[in-house]
Structure 1
Amino acid sequence: MITAAALAGYALLVGAVVPYGLVRAGWPHRAPAVAVLAWQGLSLTFVVAAALAAYHLVFAGRHVHDGLVGLLSACGLTAHPPAESTPAGASDLALLTAPAMIVLFPLAWLVRTAWQARRERRRHAALLAVIGTESAEHGATVVEHRVPAVYCLPGRVRRIVVTRGALEILTAEQLRAVLAHERAHIRGRHHLLQVAAKAFARAFPGLPLARLAREQTALLLEMIADDRALRLHSRDALATAMCEVAAGRAPEAALGAGGRSALIRLRRILAPEAKPRPVTWAGIAAASVTAPFLPLLVTC
C-alpha cells in the first residue's frame, strides 16, 4: 500500500501540480522545442505512474513483492516467475484490467484522434481542389477570400493555403516569411505532436496536465515554426505578416500563422530573450526523457 500511495502521489504531482509550475516558468518560450518534449514527458509519466499505482493497489501485495518480475509474471510475459510467487490465474488477469485500461484508454483516443484528423484533412483537401487555384510562384493554393489568412494542411495531402486577401495586403518579403513558417510546420510534422496532445486531453478531460499540455503544445509549435522562419527572414517581416493574418482562422485539422496566440508570439519575436544555456536545456531534456522511468524503478 505504501508503494501504491507513493506512485499515486507521484501521478498527482505530475498531473496537477507540475503543469502549473511549467506554465509559469520563463524558459519554455525561450526553448520551445525542449518545452514540447517536457510536456510530452509529463504526459507519459502520468500514464505510467497511474497505471503502476493501480497495479499495486488492486493486487495489494500479490505479485507486488516480486517487483517488475511479478508484474510481468501476472501479465504472462515471463516463463520463469519467482519461486515464491503463485502462477497467474484468471482472477489476476481480471485485476489487471484497471491498470491496463489506464494505458489502453489514451492509446485508443490517440488512434481515434489521428483518424479523425486525417479524415478532416482529406475532406478539406477535396474542398480546396474545387475552390482553390495552384500557384507555382508561391508554392501554395490560392483561395478567393477577402480575409487575409495563411495556413498549411499537413500529412500526406501537404499543401499551403493563402487567401487572396493575404496576397493583396502582404509584401513579397512578408509573404515569404509567413510561407517559411508554414513550411516549418510541414517539415517538422508538428501535426503529430498536436494530435498526441489532443488525444491525451480527450482521454483525461478533467486533468490540469491534459488541458495545459494541449494549450501549450499548440503555442510552442507555433513558436518553433517562428524560429525556423526567422533563420531566413527578418523579425519585422514575420511580425508584420502575423499582424496582417491574425484575424484569419485555420481549419481544425490545419496549422495557421495567425490565431489567438499571435499576440504572445509577436512579443516574443519583437523582444527576443536569450536562450537557455546548453547545459540547462540538456538537463531539462534529460529529465523529460527519464521521468517516465522513475515509476518503473519504484516497481523494480
Structure 2
Amino acid sequence: MNHHTLPPLGLVLCTGFLLPWLLVRARWAQQVPRLALAVWVASGAVFAGAGALLPAQLLLPSPTGHRFSDALFTLEFPPAHRLLELSPREYLALGVAAAVLAVPVAGFARALLRARRRRTRHAETLRLVGRYDAGLGATVLDHARPAVYCLPGRSRRVVVSSGALTTLTTPQLDAALAHERAHISGRHHLLVAAAESFAAVFPYLPLARHGGSAVPLLLEMAADDRALRRCSRDALATALYALASGRAPREAFAAGGPSAALRMRRILAPHSAGHPVLWGLLTVAAAGLAAAPLIIACCSFPN
C-alpha cells in the first residue's frame, strides 16, 4: 500500500469530521463570524482537495506517490512536457483525482446557476410591481408586513416593503439597509451556494451537514457587524425585532427572519468568552495536531 495516502486521509478525517465537531461547539465562532466563515471555507477546500488526492495515491506506487506528494507540498510542479511522459497508471490516477474534484465543483456551479435564475425571475417581478426610491436607494414594494431584503449578484437590489417604511424609524431603517448592502458588497450569495451544494453532494458528511446550517447564520452575523460600523447597536437590534416576522424569497437575504432573536441577543450582549480570535486559532491548531501523527507516519516510512 502507498503510505502517501496517510496525509490526505488525515486531512479528510480532520476537515470532514473533527473540525466541524469543534466548530459547532465553539462559542468564539459567533463572536468573530468572519474568522469562522474562513475556517468553514478552508475546511471545505482542503477536504475537496484531499478527497481528490486520496484515490489518486491509492492507485500510484509508492515512489510515484512520493514524487506527487513532494510536488504538492513544495508547489514545484514538473514542466508541461513531462506530463506527456506519464505512464497509463499515472494518467488514470490524475483522471480519477480530477473526476472526484469535479463533483463538488459541478455542484457549486449548478447551485449558482439555479439561484441566479430564481433571482432574475424575482427581479423581473419587482420591476413590474415595485417602485424605485432614489432617496433610499432601494425598491419599495407595497406590502403591509414589514420586510427588508436584498437580491445579490447581477440582479442586485435592496427591497423595502411599505410596512417597513411605516414601522421603522429612520435610524432603524438605515441599519436594516446597511445590513442588506453588506450582503451585496460581501458577495455572500457565493458562500451560500457553496454550502448548499456541498450539503447536496455530501449529505451525510458532518462538514457539509453542519456547514449548511452554520454558514448562512454566520453570514447574517457578519452582515450585522458590517452594519454596526454605520449604526448603533440599539438601532440594529430594534430593527431586527421589528422585521423578525418579515418574509423574503429563498434566493434573497432578509434582515429579519428566524435568526433575528439570536442575532439580537448577540448584538446587545457583551462578549465574555475571552479573546475569540485566539480561541479560533486554537481550534484550528487542535484539528491540525490531530492530523500530525498520520503525516509523521508517512514521513517515517522508506520510499
TM-score (norm 2): 0.84
Equivalent residue number for residue 124 of structure 2: 126
1:133-172 matches, within 5 Å, as 133-172=131-170
What is the one-letter code of the residue matched to 1:161?
A: V
Classify 1:70/1:273 alpha carbon distance in 2 versus 1 (closer, same or farther; 3 Å): closer
Residue 142 of structure 1: SS of its match in structure 2? strand
Structural RMSD (CA):
3.3
Q: Check whether the contact 2:33–2:219 (CA below 8 A) recurs between aligned residues.
A: yes
User: Helix, strand or coil for the counterpart of 2:265?
Assistant: helix
3-state SS of paired residue (2:155): coil
Q: 1:276 to 1:186 in 2, by over 3 A?
A: farther
CA displacement at 1:78 relative to structure 2: 4.5
| Alpha-carbon contact 1:52-1:99 (below 8 Å) kept | yes
Deviates more, 1:237-246 or 1:198-207: 198-207
Structure 2 equivalent of residue 79 of structure 1 = 81
**Preserved contact between residue 37 and residue 285 of structure 1 (Cα < 8 Å):** no
Query: 2-side partners of 1:79 and 1:281: how far apart?
Result: 47
Residue of structure 2 equivalent to 1:3: 4
Q: Is the 8 A contact 2:179 2:224 kept in 1?
A: yes
Unmatched runs of 5 consecutive residues or more in structure 2 = none
One-letter code aligned to 1:242: L
| Matches of 2:215 and 2:160, distance apart in 1 | 24
Aligned to 1:21: 22
Alignment of 1:42-57 (within 5 A): 42-57=43-58
1:180 aligns with 2:178: yes
Identity rate, percent: 44
**Counterpart of 1:234?**
232
Where is the helix percentage greater, Structure 1 or Structure 2?
Answer: 2
Take 1:258 and 1:282, find their aligned partners in 2: how far apart are those partners?
Answer: 27
Aligned partner of 1:191: which letter? Answer: H
**What is the aligned length?**
291
Q: How far 1:183 sits from its partner (Å)?
A: 1.2
Shift of 1:184: 1.2
Deviation, structure 1 residue 31: 0.7
Moved over 4 A (4+): 75-78, 274-279, 281-288, 294-300
Q: Assess if the C-alpha contact under 8 Å between 2:246 and 2:257 holds in 1.
A: yes
Query: SS of the residue aligned with 2:144?
Result: coil
The residue that corresponds to 1:90 in the other structure is: 88
Secondary structure of the 2:24 match is: helix
- Counterpart of 2:81 in structure 1: which amino acid? A
Q: Counterpart of 1:35?
A: 36
Alpha-carbon spacing, 1:80–1:156, altered in 2? closer, same or farther (3 Å) = closer
Structure 1 alignment gaps of length 5 or more: none
Change (3 A) 1:231 1:120: same
Please tell me whether residue 64 in structure 1 is matched to residue 65 in structure 2.
yes
Q: Deviation per CA, 1:154-209: give whole Å up to 9, x if none.
A: 11222110112211211222111111111111122211222222222222222110
Cα distance change of structure 1 residues 221 and 296 upon mapping to structure 2, 3 Å threshold: farther
Equivalent of residue 210 in structure 2, options 202, 209, 212: 212
Q: SS state of the match for residue 146, structure 2?
A: coil
> Once the 2 structures are TM-superposed, how far is the Cα of residue 243 of structure 1 from its aligned partner?
1.3
